[in-house]
């Protein structure tokens, strides 16, 4: 009985020890949770700061781009463009293209033009407008025209005057272009009109016609060609092939079949003659 009473007195002490250990574990878990919470709050604060810095950087870049955006469509041929904002991202091959100035095309481009120019000079020399003896091309073609050639109402000197006007106009245009673009004199805005920047709207006109009513017309022609032209040709071939496949059963190659057809034909002719003789 004494031992039982002693064990009964020791049991509360053991329960108290277990409770103390449970309290210690709970306090450790609480401390760990507080530490993780503090870490999460610090990461969230750093992320918020990074997002704020990124937003400020984007706003700054947009403001710089808007401030440095060119307000004029003209570009000075002698000053390189401002690339300060993108210099760090440009490849090294850009360095040798820093010189921006008008220059002659490479030989692979201007040599064919020289050959064509010499050919044009030679072609023009075949029929000079000075006198009758210089009309080489005209006299050379006389045998093929049989005297039906058209004679212009302008004399030789009239043609010379018109040619002179054309040459002077070309030289004047070249001089104005050299003064404005090479020497920097005059205002480029008076020359570079929108109609010239759009090449007289020729290409845009072609695109509008071909991409609009032209495309619809081409599609209609393609549909007509496919349905009517190709349909007629393919339909004739289909008709011949179909009728041939139907009538070929009559050409079986058996003599008895041909004799039967002859017999039916004879009976038909006999019936025809009897009907004509009777009625």
- Given a cut of 90, whether residue 8 has pLDDT beyond it is no
Put simply, whether the predicted model's pTM sits higher than 0.85 gets the answer no
| Cβ-contact 77, 102 below 8 angstroms | yes
Greatest distance between any 2 Cα atoms in the chain: 158
> Over the stretch 96-105, which tens digit does the pLDDT of each residue have?
665 555 667 8
Burial class (CB in 10 A: 0-12, 13-18, 19+), 134: middle
> Over the stretch 66-96, which tens digit does the pLDDT of each residue have?
776 655 555 554 455 667 777 777 776 666 6
213-224 vs 202-211: helix crossing angle, rounded to 10: 40
> Average model confidence (pLDDT) for the chain?
79
Taking CA atoms, 179 is separated from 76, 172, 173, 184, in Å, by 14, 11, 10, 6
Taking CA atoms, 12 is separated from 6, 19, 55, in Å, by 11, 10, 63
State the Cα torsion 172-177-183-187 to the nearest 10°. 110
How far does Cα 36 stand from its chain's mean position? 57
pLDDT band with cut points at 50, 70 and 90 for residue 216 = confident
Percentage, residues of the chain above pLDDT 70: 74
State the Cα torsion 222-227-231-232 to the nearest 10°. -90
């Amino acid at each position: 009985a004494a031992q039982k009473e002693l064990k009964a007195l020791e049991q509360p002490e053991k329960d108290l020890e277990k409770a103390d250990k449970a309290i210690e574990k709970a306090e450790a878990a609480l401390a760990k949770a507080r530490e993780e919470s503090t870490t999460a709050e610090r990461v969230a604060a750093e992320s918020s700061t990074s997002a704020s810095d990124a937003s400020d950087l984007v706003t700054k870049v947009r403001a710089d781009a808007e401030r440095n955006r060119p307000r004029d469509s003209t570009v000075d041929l002698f000053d390189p463009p401002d690339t300060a904002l993108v210099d760090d991202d440009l490849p090294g091959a850009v360095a040798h293209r820093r010189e921006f100035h008008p220059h002659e095309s490479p030989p692979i481009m201007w040599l064919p033009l020289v050959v064509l120019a010499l050919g044009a000079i030679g072609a023009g020399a075949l029929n000079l407008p000075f006198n009758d003896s210089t009309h080489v091309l005209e006299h050379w073609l006389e045998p093929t025209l049989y005297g039906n050639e058209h004679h212009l109402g302008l004399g030789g000197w009239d043609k010379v005057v018109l040619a002179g006007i054309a040459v002077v106009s070309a030289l004047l245009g070249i001089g104005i272009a050299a003064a404005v673009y090479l020497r920097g004199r005059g205002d480029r805005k008076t020359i570079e009109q929108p109609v010239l920047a759009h090449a007289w709207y020729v290409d845009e006109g072609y695109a509008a016609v071909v991409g609009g009513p032209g495309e619809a017309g081409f599609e209609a022609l393609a549909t007509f060609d496919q349905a009517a032209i190709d349909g007629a040709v393919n339909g004739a071939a289909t008709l011949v092939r179909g009728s041939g496949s139907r009538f070929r059963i009559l050409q079986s190659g058996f003599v008895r079949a041909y004799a039967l057809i002859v017999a039916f034909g004879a009976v038909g002719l006999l019936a025809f003659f009897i009907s004509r003789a009777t009625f």
